Amino acid sequence: MTDTRSPMLELLSGFISELREAGLPVSLTENLDAMEAITHIPIEDRDAFKYALAATLVKNHAHWRAFETVFEVYFSLRGGHHAIGDDTDDLAQLLDDMEGEGDQGNEGEGMGRGGGGGDALTPEELAELLYQALMQGNDALLRAIARQAVRRFAGMEPGRPVGGTYYLYRTLRNLDLDAVLDKLMQQTRDKAEDQGNPLSPLEERLEEDEFRIRIESLKKEIEAEIRRRLVADRGVEAMARTLRKPLPEDIDFMHASREEMVGLRKALYPLTRRLAVRLARKRRHGRKGPLDFRSTVRHSLSYGGVPAEPKFRYPRPHKPEIFVVADISGSVAAFARFTLMLVYAISHQFSKVRAFVFIDGVDEVTSFFEGVEDVTEAVHRVNTEADVVWVDGHSDYGHAFEAFWEKYGKEIGPKTTVMILGDARNNYHASQSWVVKEMQHRARHVYWLNPEPRSYWDTGDSIVGEYATFCDGTFECRNLRQLEKFVDHLA
Amino acid sequence: MTDTGTEPRFESVGAVRDGLRDVQYLADEGIAGIVYLADRLQKPILVEGPAGTGKTQLAKSVAELTGARLIRLQCYEGLDESKALFEWNYKKQLLRIQAERGESGGPSWDEVETDIFSDDFLLTRPLLEAIRAEDPVVLLIDEVDRVEVETEALLLEILSDYQVSIPELGTVVAKQIPLVFLTSNNTRELSEALKRRCLYLHVDYPDMDREKEIVLTKVPGVSDALADQVARIVRSLRQLELKKSPSVSESLDWARTLLLLGVETVDAETASSTANILLKYQSDIAKALKEFSTDQNAAKVFAPGPK
């Protein structure tokens, strides 16, 4: 080990502690592995370096994003062409190269003045350049344009206390990528028509996907450039802290952004599949049934009449019937959308799932999920068609439960597991908790999942405590991790 | 523990990638890098990813590349020690005891006992076989997520120390460190203890250029334009939200089918009539057709749903 490596070690230990801060479980052995791994690869190979760290430190694909962000922050200013300040030459260089080609081609006059460097371009020329780069899928040129665009449009000033998203918004607004996409599509269409074979819908779709992917990669370049500049301005630690995002399993359902919601939906599917697998396994390997006397005697014959090998009856398979009763009022709207997705997911895994939604009235929505392939469509139907408003559309758990008991109470049997999802914020109506008590009597289990943090329970108009007395379990369920814990408990 | 004198198999990351290319496995930077690291660090690789992305094939190709014997342990529910590690050949032991019993001046019980718990009576199963092998081997533990959490513990000793402890015989230490691959389809979370001992590799669907190249190498006779189209369409399909996205092996099947049908360029009609090769759910097919053609009637003809 030479002296030059010690700053590297320091950087790496900072990097790892930031990963831990972000919630990744990095153990000591993994830390040591990473240290050893990087001695085996050429340090100037940035990609190899990244993969080496990832292979030793990140053991769950869901954490990859978090890792990538931290990596970009820590190592974005290192390595040859990643330093700040050489971007002008970058673009100029590329333009020179292109000009050489342009002499034989047709694109020459559009960028003739590019030789003066990226800054010399007029906005129109830059837009034209961007358009060409997207058309040809020229990655190097796109990267250079991204840098130029950030320099020009983002208006970044050292020490300005705004987030990266603000700069990103400013840059993208100036580039107006939607219009660029339209223009690209239009030209592709025209070109095809000129050649006598207009695009079929399939071809058009493929072309559009291609352009979208290129534009996406341009956006990523711009984001990376902004991040680089912010890191240079504010320092690594500060930047890592501001960029720190919760891991997928820690995202709060109530405050999930649209994008996070999509991610959650993807994560839900394996969770329910896991639940189903686990239940099936339990069925096969679980506690044996009562002693099978006849079979035991029969098998004792081979031991000379000694019942050496006791035989048991197979246990009756437990086929759970699940009733989901979900609050879909405004106060838990984000959570409600999530619970509906959960209902959709489990209804595909279990033979008998019935779904009910309520605000101050209650309605069964099982049929909305049957034979539906698109969950968003089902959720939309639930939100628009279900008859859940009784008086004013403010949560009234008491009345909703009463109505539920009246209409569907008889159908709860000893096989039924009832899951109630809601924050129990009752707007000071009567609680009618006897309904939950009756349900507990009849059903196999009654569980309550509450999307609020435990410390908020029973504050204000929340009366979850009153219902909890009659539930077999009350669970705080704000993120996937907690939901998974509940699933473990259930199975 | 690492002093078993196993020479590194690969010179550099580039060597791994080129070598794999020679055996028709197109690895990206990440895959090649991690195989190289696993060799240098002498650690197993845990490969995860969607079905049909070439996880098992990676192990096979590495074996072919290094000229090593591939030993495969297919995991399933209920796998136990006697199927994964070793077992005593008790029938043979019984015969041995009975053979001794006949002679009056035969060996004493102690002698017989040490005798029947010797190498001759040991049935080696894949894990032990990989450890005891004299020649270079690649050990593939396939679909490790299928065994129960408790059974995972069986693997831990072999994965970290490359040794197996047999109560009657003592510890068998590896003569050479085998390259170990574990694959998982992620039906359940593997234990921390297992993950900690491995390098982690997530194999995702390849990007378009790599997929095109894969189609070109694996389907002889396919034209460049057709491969390009196949890769493009498959990429667009993967962006839809489907029950099951088309895997690499399915896009290869599709390319072969198109080739057999003598298709030069894929138009909407051929795509929809052969969509069942790429997509395995009726609802997925319907969705894809709906997305890709403005002609709604076509979608109904090819995907008569239940309702």
Contact A277 B287 (CB under 8 A): no
Residue B138, strand partner residues: B70, B179
* Residue B138 or residue B185, greater confidence: B138
Enumerate the residues of chain A whose CB falls inside 8 A of the CB of residue B188.
274, 277-278
pLDDT greater than 50 at residue B300: no
**Mutate which: B36, B37, B161, vs A, most A CBs within 10 A:** B37
Whether A269 has a pLDDT exceeding 90, the answer reads no
What are the pLDDT digits (tens) for B39-55? 888 899 999 988 888 88
Question: Closest approach of chain B CAs to the CA of A478, in angstroms?
Answer: 20
A224 in reach of chain B (CB within 8 A): no
Q: How far does B149 lie from chain A, in Å, by closest CA?
A: 11
- Please compute the mean of the pLDDT values over residues A84-94 and round it to a whole number: 54
Confidence check: pLDDT of A116 > 60: no
Strands B45-48 and B199-202: what pairing? parallel
User: How far B31 CA lies from chain A's nearest CA (Å)?
Assistant: 9
Residue A389 has pLDDT above 80, yes or no: no
CA dihedral A418, A421, A423, A427 (to 10 degrees): -70
Q: What average pLDDT does this structure show over B161-172?
A: 86
Q: Confidence band (pLDDT; 50, 70, 90) for A205?
A: confident
For range A94-98, the mean pLDDT:
60
Q: What is the largest CA-CA distance in chain B?
A: 93
B163 in helix, strand or coil?
strand
A38-79 tens-digit pLDDT: 888 887 778 888 888 888 998 888 888 888 888 888 887 654
Reply yes or no on whether the pLDDT at B147 is more than 80.
yes
Please state which CATH number belongs to domain A265-286+319-490. Answer: 3.40.50.410
**Four-point Cα dihedral A127, A131, A132, A135, nearest 10:** 170
Chain A residue nearest residue B8, CA to CA: A40
**Region A172-194 average pLDDT:** 80
A80 has pLDDT over 60: no
SS3 assignment, position B141: strand
For residues B259-275, average pLDDT: 82
What CATH number does the domain located at B13-77+129-202 have?
3.40.50.300
Q: How confident is the model at residue B301 (pLDDT cuts 50, 70, 90)?
A: very low
Distance of alpha carbon A380 from its chain centroid, rounded?
20
Give me the DSSP letters along A463-486: -HHHHHTTSSEEEE--SHHHHHHH
Coil, strand or helix at B136: coil
Instruction: Point out the residue among B40, B202, B293 whose CB comes nearest to the CB of A61.
Output: B202
pLDDT score of A92: 61
Tell which of A373, A481, A484, A488 to mutate to test the B interface (max B CBs under 10 Å). Answer: A373
Record: contact B292-A47, CB cut-off 8 A: no
* pLDDT in the model for residue B104: 63
CB contact under 8 A, A373 and B283: yes
Q: List residues bridging with A327 in a β-sheet.
A: A358
Q: For A381-403, what is the mean pLDDT? A: 78
* Contacts B40 to A, Cβ<8 Å: 37, 40
Interface pTM, i.e. ipTM: 0.81
Question: At A81, is the pLDDT very low, low, confident or very high (cuts 50, 70, 90)?
Answer: very low
Percent of chain B with pLDDT over 70: 91
Across the interface, which of B148, B192, B201 has its CB nearest the CB of A55? Answer: B201
pLDDT at A285: 54
Q: A6-10, A326-330, A359-363, B120-124: which range is least confident on average?
A: A6-10
pLDDT at B199: 92
Report, as an integer, the average pLDDT of B29-44: 89
A33: which chain B residues are within 8 Å (Cβ-Cβ)?
41, 43, 199
In this prediction, residue A392 has a pLDDT band, given cuts at 50, 70 and 90, of confident
Res. B180 pLDDT band, cuts 50 70 90: very high
Mean pLDDT of A201-226: 81
From-to residues of CATH 3.40.50.410 in chain A:
265-286+319-490
